[in-house]
Structure 1
């Protein structure tokens, strides 16, 4: 069982890793050669699953704010949180250029500090695999959604054969054994393992959709350093 002290230590290591990665990560997200196609494909992927704008949307583990900014540009009222100071610094730069930017703030995706029934939708991308206590998180997310509210998450099966591959020194140092033991979805062999957790948390109408358009872009332009081309999936559910 994860203790509060263990959870805090795990999260501190995750925060450090993603702050170190933030500039490189954001640069890849904003790669000019594919940015226009990326924006279109990701906007379509989320628009197909979200309520009509304007809706109150919470983007958790927002990172450098890529999805949050897209959703705000689509007309949604977006609140976006992360615990990585470096990622939030990158996100703030993008928000500064927007007329109606997301509201970025420091916040824990496992236990978001908002009132019950505050949002019409909760989104995240590439969070589930590196999320400590996913069952606790999902229960909290369900409470934050209004009746009929939608959960929209995107992820892939990144480490189906374990996390000991040839990764960067920072990854091996900070994603150490205690961290890996806490990330119960990091080594999921199929995306159904994520969908099953969402259904078990009480979400209804859980659906898994492969994002073929994103896969084609990754094949065309390549993926981030130290990553492999992986078919991503959108998983949706209703509160």
Structure 2
């Protein structure tokens, strides 16, 4: 089993509880509103062709489709893909959900106006290779916009979340951003891929929601950031 296979196994097992947290009725409407504002500000006006890499249960893909974009979401976790397809089918112009590798998306160059991700960078193998591949998929003026945080500055072995059995030493060795202490490494990767005007925006609206409603079990409240750059 490869390191990526172990990551896929973990997220397939987590898919039901992860999706239930995203769909919490007490928070869902507030989340949709907050994320709609964030992504509307991160990208040019719709309609764009957008690739959401590591789409998971499709939360970002659904928000982007709701903004009027033409969205394709890819992931390697079968459990996550099943949930994302279920949600996409409920929208009149929902995103296309496909099995695909965020590190090497299988699309022709110049296929998209934007590449997005949320909570992917920390668990992304070869992020420098991945972002370089995303840039090749973009048309002139295209954007990369990713949301993440320094989730595990003390290491995955000391995290409240139970990663045992999947995120072992071999997996952690191929995830250079897993224990990042700031977003500086992510910024550097985007800049090294040739993106310009890279910005870091703290997502205070999401922090406020986390403080108001709480976060998933065994997770810590962390300030999240949008890191974006353009071709």
TM-score (norm 1): 0.95
Q: Give how far 1:51 is off.
A: 1.4
Number of residue equivalences: 231
- Matched with 2:172 is 180
Instruction: Confirm whether residue 221 of structure 1 aligns to residue 213 of structure 2.
Output: yes
- Matched with 2:124 is 131
Q: How does 1:1-239 map onto structure 2 within 5 Å?
A: 9-165=2-158, 167-169=160-162, 171-239=163-231
CA–CA distance in structure 1, aligned partners of residues 151 and 164 of structure 2: 15
CA–CA distance in structure 2, aligned partners of residues 49 and 185 of structure 1: 22
Q: CA RMSD in A?
A: 1.0
CA–CA distance in structure 2, aligned partners of residues 56 and 96 of structure 1: 19
Q: Give how far 1:168 is off.
A: 5.0
Question: The residue matched to 2:139 in structure 1 has which SS?
Answer: strand
Deviations 1:34-73 (A, max 9, x none): 1111000011111101111010000000000011011001
CA–CA distance in structure 1, aligned partners of residues 68 and 159 of structure 2: 41
Q: Give how far 1:162 is off.
A: 1.1
Structure 1: unaligned runs, 5 residues or longer: 1-7
CA–CA distance in structure 1, aligned partners of residues 169 and 160 of structure 2: 15
Q: Give how far 1:238 is off.
A: 0.5
Whether the aligned pair in 2 keeps the contact of 1:51 and 1:120 (CA below 8 Å) is no
Q: Give how far 1:167 is off.
A: 4.2
CA–CA distance in structure 1, aligned partners of residues 143 and 119 of structure 2: 17
Deviations 1:172-203 (A, max 9, x none): 11000010010000111111121111111111
- Matched with 1:4 is none
Deviations 1:70-95 (A, max 9, x none): 10011000000000000000011111
Question: The residue matched to 1:182 in structure 2 has which SS?
Answer: coil
Q: Give how far 1:166 is off.
A: 5.0
Structure 2: unaligned runs, 5 residues or longer: none
Q: Give how far 1:161 is off.
A: 1.2
